[in-house]
Amino acid sequence: MALAGTVCVDRWEAHLEGASPYEVPEGGVAVASSGEVPQGYISGDVAALACASAGKRLCSVDEWMRACGGPDTTIYPYGDTYDSTACNDTYAGGHPVVDYFGTSTGVWDSEHMNDPGINQQPGTVDPSGANPGCVTPEGIFDLHGNLHEWIDDPEGTFKGGFYADAAINGAGCSYTTSAHTTDHHDYSTGFRCCKAPSF
C-alpha cells in the first residue's frame, strides 16, 4: 500500500484471491499485486465485502481523488497534460461488447455485458502495473483507465474510467459514473481498497 495524504491506498487494482477475474464474483478476499489481471465484473456491494475480508475498505471519494491527483491535485495521475500512451484508456477496437458479439443489437443487458469473454479479448484489460507511465508520484498505478473503480458511496459511484472510455464522464481523475446502484456489475467494473494507516 502507498500512503496518499492520510490514507493507505492499494498500489494496484484488486483481484480476488483464487478467483477468475473474468467471472462475476459473489465474494472473496481482495488482493492487490503487480502483474495480476484485476477483477472485472464486480458489483460495488461485493467489492466492499472483498475489501472488508482483507481488513480494508473501499476508498471514499475524497481519498480516491487525493490518491489520483496526488499532493499537487493534477488532472491525471501522472500530471496535467494528457498522454495517450501512459494509461490503458485507448481501446483500439470499436466497442468491446460489440466487437465480442459482432453486433450492437440485443447486447446491452446484464447477461451479455457480463460475458467472461469480453475482457479476454486482446487490447482490453491489462495486468496491474503493466502501464509504467500510469502511476502517481506516490507509486499508485492505474487510477485512470484499465477498469472503473468502485468507491464508498451508498448511491453507487465508480471513478477513473476504463480501457474503452476514460473521457466521456470527465477528464482523468475527475471521471465519475454515478448512474448505477451498488449491485450493478459488468465487464468494466473493478475496485481497489483503502485503509487507515497504522503508525
Domains of the chain: 1-199 (3.90.1580.10)
Q: How far are the Cα atoms of 69, 73, 113, 123 from residue 89, in angstroms, in the given order?
A: 17, 20, 19, 10
Give the per-residue pLDDT at 199.
Answer: 60
Asked if residue 166 has pLDDT above 80, the reply is: yes
Name the nearest CA neighbour of 77 among 192, 174, 182, 191. Answer: 174
Is residue 134 within 8 Å of 145, Cβ to Cβ? Answer: yes
Is residue 134 within 8 Å of 77, Cβ to Cβ? Answer: yes
Rounded mean pLDDT, 36-45: 98
**What residues pair up with 193 in beta bridges, in sequence order?**
58
Euclidean distance between CA atoms 186 and 116, whole angstroms: 10
Task: Kindly report, residue by residue over 54-68, the tens digit of the pLDDT.
Answer: 999 999 999 999 999
Q: Mark 87-118 as b/e (b = at least 16 C-beta within 10 Å).
A: bbbebeeeebbebbbeeeeebeeeebbbbeeb
Asked if residue 47 has pLDDT above 80, the reply is: yes
Number of Cβ within 10 Å of residue 2's Cβ equals 17
Residue type, 108: W
Q: Where are the alpha helices (DSSP H) in 55-146?
A: 61-69, 96-101, 110-113
Is residue 194 within 8 Å of 63, Cβ to Cβ? Answer: yes
Phi, psi angles (nearest 5°) of residue 51? -65, -45
Asked if residue 134 has pLDDT above 80, the reply is: yes
Rounded mean pLDDT, 99-104: 98
Rounded mean pLDDT, 61-88: 97
Rounded mean pLDDT, 66-74: 97
**What residues pair up with 16 in beta bridges, in sequence order?**
30
What single DSSP character describes residue 127? P
